[in-house]
Chains A and B, each alone.
Chain A
């Protein structure tokens, strides 16, 4: 390269694929380009005081650029020399409109300025931007370019429009295909709201999968969301506060901690599961008012209407929309309870598996006997009702060293830590 440079035959260069943005369009429904052509002065910008150059209402649509059909609009005096000139009939690409709209929101009623710099600098840049991946190489390039240009004009003090950006997935039809009229798989939000309500639709839309993934529409799942909301409503419409025990407080605080992280990360499907689990956990127990309200607050971001209603029913004056997000009290999270819960759930699963096998073999089961290690008897006994309910059977629990235990098939030696032995009769 040096040899070439010395001989003046070449030079080092950086090349970009990016091209200048072609913004003129030969169509009507766009922003008129504020320029006049004058035979004497050439291309003359319209004076700032004469803005806006309004789109004329009367034009003929059909062949060619409709703006070229309104002679009265086109013929105008040259802003420089005052002789007859002609307006530019090209309009701007619509991506021009969307390149800086986010700034206009900060002062959208200002008729003296594009926006007040102080207001723009307070609100912008966008902290979280959300929109489809199809806009990555068009709108998002243009908006970044405009931001830099506006910063160079001194109108704003930052150079990037959006600090964080999330791209959502596609909602496909129930057949797994893109929704389209020709395929007949279109589901309209409006119809869905009429049938299930907006809360159900909202909860359903985020419960499916990670929100950046595509998913297939499912009427069954939205019914599910609807049923859940109904149960929540029933529960709190007649709510009587009691005292939350340590287990409930553990569960609540753990849920708050995890849901907060999930929402921040757009992992709404996981957040929704945790919120539902919390409800399923406490719905047949006594809980205090704070637990109830914390639960409603977390559900609120997904189901704003029903939670406002229940918030009011609980006797609150203001809006839950403006209430404070629940705080996690780490001191109330107790890993012992977590372990216990997992062990009990595992036991329920094991019992249900056995019951399933028995029913396949057409053997009737009347009673279930559990044999735990001596130090775990209390833990499992404390969940006796839960286990009985989840397995829909009568359950009895013994420690392996209980003298008077009923163990006709000598199952008790099989008990392991956290995993009791099971006998069904």
Chain B
């Protein structure tokens, strides 16, 4: 008996000569400029775009075939639906992979790129993607990157492009510095076997942080996958808090905290191991131990902070608590990011789990300043930090100020 589903899958009679048909229509589309886009204010436009490829020497891979097919389907669909469709293509041709590949095969990156693009174009045309080839761009041509440079000058004028010495990510294998966005789990995005090193170098930066709030707020209006929006929100990482001035060895330093209500619970401060003024905090008697410690720890990246084994060393310095005027020790830690806040955090082991673990490990005092309504807790007996709400204790005149606020938060 013939399985009924086989009916659907009966093979074709093979008259279908796809090679002949496909090359015929490729030529016709090109000859008649079928997909050329022209501005026409009377027609409703539709701009469909696939992220342009880096033209590698190995040509198109299946991932390209998939993503560009999705773009082409959409462009064709919108074109047939009556939109004036712009569907262009180009090549993200500059960059390290081309430079490295060229060196490897003993050619110049320019020749390598030219060849790769020619190969890409040929293969892309085979796929029947309906690009407007007349608009093609190649970022490695001076005609294109001239405008990168022009924009750079505009950014310099506006103070958006600037040069400064800062702790930066450096990949040995790439032999260059990297942006934060190019460091994945503390490793280089191109070399997942290479730990990124932190170096203090003078470099060019773009002041993208000027736009942080708008980058965050703008997401709400976009029709993007929710996951993508969440990832950007987390990357921008907004938090509201307070900057509190602590005096360390005669100089005042701002310390960022999201929990100013726990100020009376501060029992020590932790400075980032990459802090630019680290040397100012290290006392002679601790110098050797600190140097040993700094050698041992690896660079700290924001992605690993949560997973990291918290380690620290006493700097030898003390800070003055702004309210109690008590002397509190200043530690150096591997879990504080130099670039977050001021690179110094106040530790409240009674009410922050990370601080709690650190305090237990290095036998630092734990002070309770918020108690649950129903239970008594003491620093010495605690198994973990108490991070929830309750009433303020041991906080003198702050108590009144904060009670109202905490109630409204919790």
Contact = CB atoms under 8 A, between A and B. Distances in A.
Interface string A194-221: 0011111110011000011000010000
A128 B49 contact: yes
5 contacts: A13-B242, A15-B341, A145-B206, A171-B62, A319-B29
A21 B206 contact: yes
B94 A30 contact: yes
A15 B12 contact: no
A281 B215 CA distance: 51
A56 to B, nearest CB: 11
Interface string A315-340: 00001011111000000000000000
A171 B62 CA distance: 7
Contacts of B179: 21-23, 93, 95, 138
Contact of B150 (A17, A23, A114): A114
A17 B236 contact: yes
A391 interface: yes
A148 B148 CA distance: 16
A168 B70 contact: yes
B8 interface: yes
Contacts of A64: 175
Nearest to B41: A122
Among the interface residues A11, A309, A324, which one has the most CB atoms of the partner chain B within 10 A? A309
The 5 closest A-B pairs by CB, nearest first: A230-B12, A17-B237, A197-B18, A131-B51, A52-B146
Contact of A233 (B12, B48, B77, B341): B12
B82 to A, nearest CB: 7
Nearest to B157: A45
A424 interface: no
Interface string A271-295: 0000010001000000000000000
B128 A202 contact: yes
Contacts of A263: 73-74, 77
B94 to A, nearest CB: 5
Contacts, number: 487
B191 to A, nearest CB: 14
B266 to A, nearest CB: 12
Given A27-B99, A33-B152, A322-B79, A97 B94 contact: yes
Contacts of B168: 22
A95 to B, nearest CB: 7
A95 B51 CA distance: 12
B15 A305 contact: no
Contact of A57 (B71, B108, B156): B108
Contact of B212 (A16, A97, A168): A16
A211 B245 CA distance: 52
B322 interface: yes
Interface stretch (B131-139, B272-280, B354-362): B131-139
A140 B224 CA distance: 11
A233 B15 contact: yes
A77 interface: no
Given A2-B401, A18-B235, 14 more contacts: A18-B209, A30-B95, A61-B99, A94-B96, A96-B148, A109-B135, A145-B208, A149-B211, A199-B22, A301-B72, A304-B25, A319-B29, A322-B79, A352-B4
B48 to A, nearest CB: 5
Interface residues of A, number: 164
B340 A11 contact: no
B209 A19 contact: yes
Contacts of B221: 160
B76 A3 contact: no
Interface string B135-178: 11101101111111111111110101101001011000011111
Given A94-B95, A128-B49, A197-B19, A202 B69 contact: yes
A176 B64 CA distance: 18
Contacts of A325: 77, 80-82
A193 interface: yes
Chain A: interface secondary structure? mixed
A304 B128 contact: yes
Contact of B70 (A7, A230, A266, A348): A266
A168 B95 CA distance: 24
B86 A198 contact: no
A43 interface: yes
B382 interface: no
Given A29-B140, A141-B181, A198-B128, A234 B86 contact: no
A137 interface: yes
A263 B76 CA distance: 11
Interface stretch (B225-233, B292-300, B372-380): B225-233
Contact of B181 (A138, A144, A187): A138
Nearest to B245: A9
A14 B240 contact: yes
A176 to B, nearest CB: 14
Interface stretch (A68-76, A99-107, A396-404): A99-107
A21 B98 CA distance: 23
B393 interface: no
B398 interface: yes
B251 interface: no
Contacts of A7: 322
Given A23-B204, A189-B61, A301 B339 contact: no
Interface in A216-238: 217, 224, 226-227, 229-231, 233-234, 237
Contacts of B208: 18-21, 141-142, 145
B67 A53 contact: no
Contacts of B250: none
Contact of B11 (A90, A153, A230): A230
A193 B122 CA distance: 13
A186 B61 CA distance: 9
Nearest to A297: B80
Interface stretch (B31-39, B282-290, B310-318): B31-39
Contact of A131 (B2, B50, B182, B237): B50
Given A22-B177, A304-B128, A141 B232 contact: yes
A132 B68 CA distance: 11
Contacts of B15: 230, 233-234, 237
Nearest to A215: B66
B206 A23 contact: yes
A29 to B, nearest CB: 4
A34 B29 CA distance: 41
A373 interface: no
A324 B45 contact: no
Of the candidates B13, B180, B207, B238, the one having the most CB atoms from chain A within 10 angstroms of its own CB is: B180
B48 A127 contact: yes
B156 to A, nearest CB: 5
Nearest to A190: B123
B205 A22 contact: yes
